[in-house]
Structure 1
Amino acid sequence: MSGKEAQEQISKVPLSNNTISRRISEMSTDINEEVVKQIKSERKFALQVDESTDIAEKCQLVGFCKFIDKDIVEQFMFCKELQTTTTGEDILASVNSYLTQHGLSWNYCCGICTDGAPSMKENPYIITTHCFLHREALVAKRCEEELTEVLNQAVKMGRLEGIVTSVNKMKGFQRKLKSWKSAVQKDDVSNFPSLQQPGYKEKLDWIVSPFELADMAEELDFTAIESDEFLDMSADSTLKVKFEKSDVTLAAFWHGTLGEYPNLAKKAISLLLPFSTSYLCEQAFSAMATIKSKQRNRLLSLEDDIRVALSTIRPDIKSLCSKHQSQVSH
């Protein structure tokens, strides 16, 4: 549709001062309800929160969640203005308010990634992470130019990183440092492969290589039930073939074992979900700078606009339209 016909149709759309704002709010509510519904369905989730100051010098707290719906899903949760101070207690109160309002429990939160704010541990089993990007930024301030470039490359990988993959890479790098130190002490400055301790396996290796560590089940951090399930699964040749030949992600693989090995799968998922960086919050702050600009610095609430802009869930437009009666302009 174009030209005069389109102009006539558009002219029929009511556009009062608050029409656009109300429509955005309705879409935002619809998206948020779907996100909450999905989290409640899958139960386990992880959080990523960070705060930043907008152009009106108001502190905005942004939160994202991660859960598994067949595979990893990351979604915007909220953007709340911190009215007074920005202490860990203030951040916790704001996050807790959102969770309580939507019937979400800390008991199902398996991880939270922040910029290092304290007092966030409502559940003793929550994995708390100080954002790797913030750590790298702090280190970069004191680094030489060559090392800063290395850190910049690491930052670019932030979106693809999770707790498990980051831990594996950090462990590998630590071993390289030991190798380099030993080589230098022997006046050998050539590159050496990572040192490997025979028979040594990291506590998280079972998630990445679940069929190779059966003989070391007793050394892994398992309960008796988890250990039994791990031994049963490691002997499951059909599942092993599927694991080795399938192109599914680790999260999708473990989600698929919930029915047969529920305790082990839940443990794996709880370790795969936590964020290692707050990259999503950084993206939200970029969107916030665009939405709340100098020309729109009196915008009272950012949450609805940011949710509609960033969420990968599309609002149910047909359902929303059915709730409104069409009114022809006069």
Structure 2
Amino acid sequence: MTTKAVDVMAVVADFFEESGLDWNKLEGVCTDGGPNMLGSRSGFITLVKQKQPDLKGTHCMIHREALASKTVPKNLHDALTVIINIVNYVKGSALNTRLFRELCRDMDANHTALLFHTQVRWLSKGNMLARVFELREETKLFLIYSNKVDLLSAFNKELQEQRSNVIVHTDTINAFMVDDVPEDMQNEFLELKHNSSTKDEFRAQDLEEF
């Protein structure tokens, strides 16, 4: 089994058959915009349209953010690294986790734990940052009690430099938009720019086929 369009289609088709689903009731397909999904001749959406010609193919709205996050500016990357180090310290041992939970309870916080992030889950990094921001006072106090001077200093710096802080930065995605490219083509250009497998596909095919 591979991620080729024909293999993905085979799995989906088997699921439709086993579940008794009607292809004619399928309204749309949302994908990450990769060539195996959008290929005009043998992409997954092309194959699905052989079953349901009227469906609409769309891009995953989160995918652009995932691509952009791979090449964030240095100041944002440094801020993210600080937050990850703090989360790893707080959640890196059962004792720290328990002490942080009790501290949050004593301070009547809305949450009692920070969140880890994973590279394969696009939303997890944003959820991690949002949780640290919500518990920023509790986190700061915990670092003081733990005498983690290095982490505390870095954390204070990021909280003070709000204009470049990754937690409150809302315009990052716009920096990765490609000038003079239509909105509906932005995902393909981002995919080509940041995805090595897509680059290989582009080199192996002519422009029309790609």
TM-score by length of 2: 0.29
TM-score by length of 1: 0.19
Identify, as 1 or 2, the structure richer in helix.
Answer: 2
Identify, as 1 or 2, the structure richer in strand.
Answer: 1
Q: Which has the higher contact order (CA 8 A, sep 6+)?
A: 1
Structure ID, larger Rg: 1
